[in-house]
C-alpha cells in the first residue's frame, strides 16, 4: 500500500481507535461501578441477616439457660427431699442411680458437712472435696452459708470432660450437701445455632459466595463455609488483616489465583467476611464490550473503505509512480527522468524533478574540476544511506589505493566503498585525530578522513598527509633529542613527563634519578673534548643497560653537560621501585670506556633519587630533592676517595 494511503488510513484508524477506547472505557467504568455497588449491597444484606439471626439465637439461648438453671435447682431439691425421706439410700449407689433416672439427672453427688464427696452415682469422685479444683471449688461457699442454692455454668466435668451443668444445695435437715449434674443437650443445641459456622450453613445458598468469621485481633479464621480454611489466617489466604479492618467499601484481591471481591464488617470480636469471585461480572462486562467493539469496528471499516477508494483513484496512483522514479534517482540512476502526466500538478512536478537532477549533475562536475586544478592531494565523495552507489572525485582512488576504486570510473557500490573506509578506520594513527595508517607493502601512508552527516546524506573528504606528518615528526625529533647522544634532551623529557603525569594509570609508582658524570672537566682538559664525548657515550651506554634491566619502564635524558636524568615509572609499589634504584650502585666505578689514543678509563658517576608522593601532581619537587641527594652522594664519594672526584684521572 502506498505511504500516503497508509498514512491517511493509519490516521483514521487511530481516530477510530481513540473513540472506541474512550467509549469502551466509559462503558466498562459504569459497568464496573454498577457491579461494585451490587456486590456491596449483597454483602451488606448478608451481614444484616447474620446479625438478625445472632440476636434471635442469643435471646433464645438466654431464656433457655435461665430455664435450665431453674430446672437443675428444682431437681436438686427433689433429690434432697427424697434422700431425707429415704436416708438409707444415701449410701446405696444403685438406689441413687434409680433416683437419678427417676428425676432425669445424669449424676448425683453427696457431700458431708466438710465438703467431701462421700456417696453418689459416680464412685470415681468419692473423696473429692471443694478444695480439689476450680470446677468443684465453685460450690465451696455452701460451707459458710447453708441458705445458698448454687448453679454452675456449663463446664466439662473432671472425669470424662463431657459438658455438664451442676447445681447444689443443703438438705433441709442440714446433714448433707446434695449436688446433681445434668447434660444440657437443649442448651448446647441452641448454643450451636449461635455459632457463626452454623449460621453460615443456613445462609450458604449461593455457591459462588464464601463467608468467613475471623478473629479481629489475630486474623485467625474461626469459621468458614470452606471448612478447610478454618484454622488458617487471612494472610495464608492472601488477604491483609489491616485492609479487612479499614477498607469499609470493599476491595479486590486474589485467592488461589482467582480474582475476588471482599467486604468485611465487625461483629462483636469477629470480622465477618463476604468473598465472591468476579469472573461472572467480568464475563458480562467482556461480552457487552465485545459487542460494542464489533459495532464500532464495522463503522470504521465502512468509513475507511470509502476514503481508500477515493484516494486510490485520484491521488495515490500518481504519487506512487513519482516515488518509484525518485527512488531510482536517489540510488544513483541520475539518467532516469520523471514523466507523469495524469494531471497538471503531477506534470509540473515531473518537470521540476528533472531540472533538479540536471543541476545536481552539473554541480558535481564543477566540484571535481575545481579540485583537479589544485596541487592538493584531496578527494571528495558523497552518498546517501538510501543510495546503492557512491560518487567521488578522481583523487579518491589514488589516495585510498584500493583495487575496487578505479581511476576511470567515478562511482562504486556503496557496500564495497564502506568496506574500504571501515578497513582504513581500523588503523588510527596514535596522537592524530582523524588520521589513519594506510599500509602499502612495507611503506606507511597517513590519510586524513573526515565525514559530514546531514540526515541520510554523507559527504566525505580524504587527504594524503604523509609528507606533512613525516616532516612534523622529524622536526619534533630534532627538537626533543640530544644531538650528541641521541637520547632525550630536557625539553623532550618535560614533554614526556607532562603526558605521564596526566595519565595516573600509566604513571603508577615512579621516581627521578639525577646522575652527574664525575671528572668530565678533568678529562676534557687533560685528554681533549673528543675523549670527553667518548666518556659521555660510555655513561649513556651504562645508564641504558641499567634501564633495560629494570622491572618497570624508564626514560633517559641528558640535561646538558655532565648531567643526566633517569625517570622510572609504571611500578606496582615503592619496595620494587627502591630495589631497582639501588641496583644502580652496581654500575658505579665498575664500567670502563676507551678514550682517544687507546687509553682505558673507568666510568665514575654520582646519583641521587626522589620518589613521588601520592599527592604530588608535578615533578618539579622531585627534581629538586633528587638533585640535592646527588650532590650529597658526590660529596661522600669525594671524601671517600681522598678528595678526588675521579680517582683514575
What is the reported pLDDT for 626? Answer: 94
What is the reported pLDDT for 422? Answer: 87
pLDDT(219) > 80: yes
What is the reported pLDDT for 1? Answer: 47
Same domain, 495 and 464: no
What mean pLDDT do residues 45-74 have?
A: 75
CA distance 99 to 77: 12
What is the reported pLDDT for 469? Answer: 82
Phi-psi region of 316 (alpha: psi -120 to 50; beta: other; left: phi over 0): alpha
What mean pLDDT do residues 447-467 have?
A: 86
* 503 within domain boundaries: yes
Single out the residue in 446, 470, 494 at which a domain terminates: 470
Same domain, 453 and 492: no
Predicted structure pTM score: 0.39
Burial of 357 (0-12, 13-18, 19+ CB in 10 A): middle
Lowest mean pLDDT among 207-211, 229-233, 286-290: 286-290
In tens, the pLDDT along 503-549 reads 888 999 999 999 999 988 889 888 888 888 999 999 999 999 999 99
Lowest mean pLDDT among 40-44, 106-110, 318-322: 318-322
What is the reported pLDDT for 389? Answer: 77
Choice between 371 and 129, residue whose per-residue pLDDT is larger: 129
Strand partners, 450: 461
What mean pLDDT do residues 104-127 have?
A: 89
What is the reported pLDDT for 90? Answer: 85
Number of H helices, E strands in the chain: 19, 23
* 332 within domain boundaries: no
* 114 within domain boundaries: no
In tens, the pLDDT along 375-401 reads 567 888 888 777 777 877 777 877 877
What is the reported pLDDT for 550? Answer: 94
In tens, the pLDDT along 337-359 reads 777 776 777 677 777 777 776 66
Mean of all residue pLDDT scores within the chain: 80
CATH assignment of the domain containing 524: 3.30.70.270
Choice between 163 and 436, residue whose per-residue pLDDT is larger: 436
CA distance 165 to 174: 23
Question: How large a percentage of the chain has pLDDT more than 70?
Answer: 80
CATH assignment of the domain containing 466: 3.30.450
Single out the residue in 470, 496, 516 at which a domain terminates: 470
* 80 within domain boundaries: no
Q: Are 224 and 232 in contact (CB under 8 A)?
A: no
Same domain, 449 and 490: no
Same domain, 530 and 466: no
Torsion angle, alpha carbons of 497, 500, 501, 504, to 10: -160
CA distance 389 to 330: 9
Single out the residue in 470, 503, 530 at which a domain terminates: 470
CA distance 568 to 580: 9
Choice between 495 and 13, residue whose per-residue pLDDT is larger: 495
Same domain, 466 and 485: no
Choice between 577 and 276, residue whose per-residue pLDDT is larger: 577
What mean pLDDT do residues 593-617 have?
A: 88
φ, ψ of residue 26 in degrees (nearest 5) = -65, -40
CA distance 643 to 65: 129
What is the reported pLDDT for 8? Answer: 67
In tens, the pLDDT along 306-332 reads 766 666 665 666 667 677 766 666 655
pLDDT(159) > 60: no
Lowest mean pLDDT among 5-9, 364-368, 540-544, 612-616: 364-368
What mean pLDDT do residues 22-41 have?
A: 74
CA-CA-CA-CA torsion sign (6, 12, 13, 14): positive
- Look up residue 102 and give its DSSP letter: H
Q: Are 487 and 585 in contact (CB under 8 A)?
A: no
* 590 within domain boundaries: yes
CA-CA-CA-CA torsion sign (224, 229, 233, 236): negative
In tens, the pLDDT along 283-297 reads 566 666 677 778 767
Same domain, 489 and 635: yes
Same domain, 392 and 496: no
Same domain, 495 and 620: yes
What mean pLDDT do residues 218-223 have?
A: 83
What is the reported pLDDT for 311? Answer: 63
Choice between 471 and 16, residue whose per-residue pLDDT is larger: 471
- For 133, the 3-state DSSP assignment is coil
CA distance 167 to 163: 14
What mean pLDDT do residues 120-127 have?
A: 88
How many CB atoms within 10 Å of residue 601?
20
Burial of 493 (0-12, 13-18, 19+ CB in 10 A): buried
pLDDT(47) > 60: yes
* 576 within domain boundaries: yes
Helices (H), 255-377: 279-311, 317-330, 344-372
What is the reported pLDDT for 569? Answer: 96
Choice between 483 and 141, residue whose per-residue pLDDT is larger: 141
Same domain, 416 and 515: no
Domain that holds residue 520: 481-640
* 539 within domain boundaries: yes
Same domain, 584 and 610: yes
What is the reported pLDDT for 567? Answer: 96
What is the reported pLDDT for 623? Answer: 92
For the chain, the domain total comes to 2
Same domain, 453 and 381: yes
What is the reported pLDDT for 609? Answer: 96
Within 46-148, strands assigned E span 107-111, 117-120
* 425 within domain boundaries: yes
CA distance 52 to 56: 6
Same domain, 436 and 516: no
Phi-psi region of 401 (alpha: psi -120 to 50; beta: other; left: phi over 0): left
What mean pLDDT do residues 403-427 have?
A: 75
Amino acid at each position: 500500500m502506498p505511504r500516503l494511503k497508509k498514512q491517511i488510513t493509519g490516521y483514521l484508524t487511530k481516530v477510530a481507535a481513540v473513540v472506541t477506547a474512550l467509549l469502551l472505557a466509559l462503558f466498562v467504568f459504569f459497568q464496573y461501578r454498577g457491579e461494585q455497588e451490587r456486590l456491596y449491597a449483597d454483602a451488606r444484606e448478608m451481614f444484616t441477616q447474620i446479625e438478625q439471626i445472632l440476636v434471635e439465637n442469643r435471646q433464645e439461648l438466654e431464656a433457655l439457660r435461665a430455664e435450665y438453671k431453674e430446672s437443675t435447682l428444682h431437681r436438686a431439691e427433689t433429690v434432697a427431699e427424697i434422700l431425707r425421706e429415704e436416708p438409707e439410700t444415701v449410701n446405696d449407689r444403685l438406689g441413687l442411680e434409680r433416683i437419678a433416672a427417676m428425676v432425669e439427672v445424669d449424676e448425683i453427688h453427696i457431700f458431708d458437712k466438710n465438703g467431701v464427696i462421700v456417696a453418689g452415682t459416680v464412685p470415681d469422685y468419692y473423696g473429692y472435696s471443694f478444695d480439689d479444683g476450680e470446677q468443684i471449688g465453685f460450690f465451696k461457699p455452701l460451707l459458710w452459708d447453708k441458705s445458698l442454692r448454687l448453679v454452675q455454668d456449663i463446664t466439662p466435668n473432671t472425669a470424662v470432660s463431657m459438658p455438664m451443668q451442676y447445681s447444689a444445695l443443703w438438705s433441709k435437715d442440714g446433714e448433707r450437701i446434695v449436688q446433681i449434674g445434668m447434660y444440657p443437650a437443649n442448651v448446647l443445641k441452641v448454643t450451636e445455632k449461635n455459632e457463626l459456622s452454623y449460621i453460615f450453613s443456613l445462609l450458604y445458598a449461593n455457591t459462588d459466595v464464601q463467608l468467613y468469621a475471623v478473629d479481629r485481633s489475630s486474623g485467625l479464621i474461626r469459621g468458614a463455609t470452606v471448612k478447610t480454611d478454618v484454622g488458617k489466617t487471612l494472610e495464608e489466604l492472601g488477604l491483609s488483616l489491616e485492609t479487612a479492618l479499614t477498607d469499609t467499601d470493599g476491595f479486590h484481591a486474589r485467592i488461589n489465583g482467582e480474582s475476588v471481591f471482599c467486604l468485611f464488617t465487625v461483629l462483636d470480636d469477629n470480622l465477618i467476611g463476604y468473598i465472591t469471585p468476579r469472573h461472572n461480572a467480568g464475563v458480562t462486562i467482556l461480552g457487552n464490550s465485545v459487542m460494542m467493539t464489533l459495532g464500532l469496528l464495522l463503522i470504521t471499516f465502512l468509513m475507511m473503505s470509502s476514503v481508500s477508494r477515493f484516494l486510490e483513484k485520484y491521488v495515490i496512483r500518481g504519487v506512487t509512480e513519482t516515488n518509484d522514479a525518485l527512488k531510482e534517482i536517489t540510488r544513483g540512476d541520475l539518467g532516469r527522468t520523471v514523466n507523469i502526466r495524469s494531471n497538471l500538478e503531477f506534470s509540473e512536478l515531473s518537470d521540476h524533478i528533472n531540472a533538479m537532477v540536471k543541476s545536481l549533475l552539473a554541480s558535481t562536475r564543477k566540484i571535481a574540476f575545481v579540485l583537479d586544478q589544485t596541487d592538493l592531494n584531496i578527494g571528495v565523495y558523497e552518498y546517501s544511506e538510501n543510495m546503492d552507489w557512491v560518487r567521488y572525485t578522481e583523487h579518491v582512488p589514488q589516495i585510498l589505493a584500493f583495487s575496487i576504486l578505479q581511476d576511470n570510473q567515478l562511482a562504486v557500490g556503496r557496500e564495497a566503498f564502506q568496506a574500504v573506509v571501515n578497513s582504513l578506520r581500523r588503523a588510527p594513527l596514535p596522537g592524530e585525530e582523524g588520521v589513519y595508517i594506510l599500509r602499502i607493502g612495507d611503506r606507511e601512508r597517513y590519510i586524513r578522513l573526515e565525514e559530514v552527516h546531514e540526515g541520510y546524506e554523507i559527504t566525505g573528504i580524504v587527504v594524503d598527509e604523509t609528507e606533512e606528518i613525516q616532516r612534523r615528526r622529524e622536526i619534533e625529533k630534532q627538537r626533543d633529542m640530544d644531538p650528541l647522544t641521541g637520547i632525550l634532551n630536557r625539553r623532550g623529557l618535560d614533554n614526556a613527563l607532562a603526558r605521564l603525569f596526566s595519565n595516573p594509570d600509566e604513571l603508577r609508582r615512579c621516581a627521578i634519578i639525577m646522575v652527574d658524570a664525575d671528572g668530565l672537566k678533568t678529562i676534557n682538559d687533560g685528554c681533549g673534548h673528543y675523549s670527553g664525548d667518548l666518556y659521555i657515550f660510555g655513561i649513556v651506554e651504562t645508564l641504558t643497560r641499567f634501564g633495560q634491566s629494570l622491572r618497570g619502564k624508564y626514560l633517559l635524558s641528558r640535561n646538558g653537560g655532565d648531567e643526566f636524568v633517569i625517570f622510572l615509572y609504571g611500578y606496582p609499589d615503592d619496595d620494587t621501585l627502591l630495589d631497582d634504584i639501588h641496583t644502580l650502585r652496581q654500575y658505579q666505578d665498575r664500567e670502563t670506556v676507551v678514550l682517544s689514543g687507546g687509553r682505558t678509563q673507568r666510568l665514575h658517576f654520582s646519583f641521587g633519587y626522589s620518589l613521588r608522593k601520592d599527592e604530588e601532581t608535578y615533578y618539579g619537587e622531585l627534581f629538586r630533592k633528587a638533585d640535592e641527594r646527588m650532590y650529597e652522594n658526590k660529596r661522600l664519594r669525594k671524601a671517600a676517595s681522598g678528595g678526588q672526584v675521579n680517582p683514575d684521572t
